[in-house]
Amino acid sequence: MKKAVVILIAKKKIKKTFSNKGLLMLLFIFLAVLSYVTVNSWVAFEKHHHVVEHHQDESRKSWDDNPDKHPHRMAHFGSFTFRLQHPLSVFDSGIESYTGNAIFLEAHKQHTANFSEASLSTGLVRFGDLNITMLLQLILPLIIFFLGYASITSEKENGTLKIMHIQGAKVKEILLGKSLGLFLVSALFFLPAFIALWSITFLEEGEILNSAIAIRCLLITISYVLFYLILCCITVIVSGKSQNSNKALLSLLGVWLLFFIITPKMAQVVGNSMYPNLSKIAFKAEIEDEISKQGDSHNPNDPYFNSLRDSILKANNVTDVKDLPINYSGFVMGKGEEQSAIIYNKQHHKLIDTYRKQNSISDGLVLLNPYLAIKNVSMSLSGTDFDTYVNFLSQTEEYRYKQSQYMNELQMKFISNKATSSEGKINVIDKSYWKSAPKFNYEFISVSQTIKTQISAIITLVIWFFFTLLFMIKFSNRFKII
């Protein structure tokens, strides 16, 4: 195979593509929309970031400014955690529009995340928001198909393909040259998006964060380059196997509908029907029912906690909880918190597993559909996928549990066993202990963990790329010249 011939054919493809004046208009419109959504996404991210920081600071200030109070009352006063978006959500918003942003934390109760963008917007948001990845994953593939559907068929129809072959150009060289030329033309559309992607690395503060973002940007760039190479090869292959340009265009439109629209939507529908999940009300009811069976720490006559009290009294050789060395109510609240947390985590894991099973239908199709592969890789590396959201919920619940147990420990240590009330200014502790409670500090999933999660999707892109290349090289003799 002669590289010079491949490069020459690629140059010819680029020149022929640019001879169409409509390309420049299409490129201008695409870049104008890309610029708009990039600026709009960045402004929205900055606004959300400042709002979250403001409300998180206000929530903490409200917590710290509480007066001297009984620890258990403080535990029920609670606090809020707000979800920070990953900087790369500017590039790929993923499921950000549909997931909650704020969670109220209090003792004995686990609340869900609320105030998603979709819940606060019109119904149109549910059909998808206009963002960079929508242009790169749905619109640009369609543009590539339109730019390349006649790559080979036009040469057949004009009789130039036969002449090129007679002059010494092998079919595989023609196919590879056309694919390379189409890829270089399509690069004019996606390179500005990558420039915007990499600019995020320089706009964010923090050396550690920037290095992680740089690695993510590199992996995203490589993945998208593989994706577009695959699309360009598929476009030229379909054009080479088609009898005329009309059939090639219809075939590619069918591929786009099947791979980019029908298959992803059908996978979601099938997943939801095969693995139905509990509603929010049913989920809460199941947890409350389980807790009622185990025992209620707030009920002084609960059989489970009565037996616990008897064992504690016996272990300390006393007959009254007032004679214990610790505040018994704080001890009971701690045990109740531990018990309810175990039940909640068990039910929550079951619910998450159901969602994972629903997603497994789409994940299982990545080997057959490179669009699903690039979609999953892009969301994961941008920190806007389902796993990132679940990670936020897990860290929030862990923080809530530690905060509640910290209050219970304060009650056990500083509140007298003879205390009968938590009202007013009696049986309280100093407000300085509220400030001693640790602040919530969310950490994103590491890059290595993200790669492990999406290794099948990454391998899929590599396999598809080499498969399309192999098909053009090894089976080029099956393409008709005339």
Amino acid at 324: L
Whose CA is closest to 380, among 207, 204, 153, 133?
133
Show the tokens assigned to 389: 């959201």
- In this predicted structure, the answer to whether residue 213 has a pLDDT above a threshold of 80 is yes
Give the mean pLDDT of the chain: 87
pLDDT tier at 89 (50, 70, 90 boundaries)?
A: very high
pLDDT band at 56 (very low <50, low <70, confident <90, very high): very high
What is the rounded average pLDDT of the residues 212-229? 94
Predicted pLDDT at 124: 47
pLDDT at 229: 97
Answer yes or no: is pLDDT of 285 > 90. Answer: no
> How large is the average pLDDT for residues 393-408?
93
- What is the biggest distance separating any 2 CA atoms in the chain, rounded to whole angstroms? 105
Among residues 261, 187, 265, the alpha carbon closest in space to that of 231 is found at: 187
Tell me: pLDDT of 120 over 60.
no
Of 283-287, 365-369, 423-427, where does mean pLDDT reach its minimum? 423-427
Handedness of CA 309, 313, 319, 323 (dihedral sign): negative
Q: Model-level pTM?
A: 0.90
Supply the pLDDT for residue 479. Answer: 73
Q: Is the pLDDT of residue 301 over 80?
A: no
Locate 462 and state its tokens: 């590599």
The more confident residue out of 307 and 45 is 45
Q: Please, which pLDDT band fits residue 117 given cuts at 50, 70 and 90?
A: low
Indicate if the pLDDT at residue 289 is higher than 90.
no
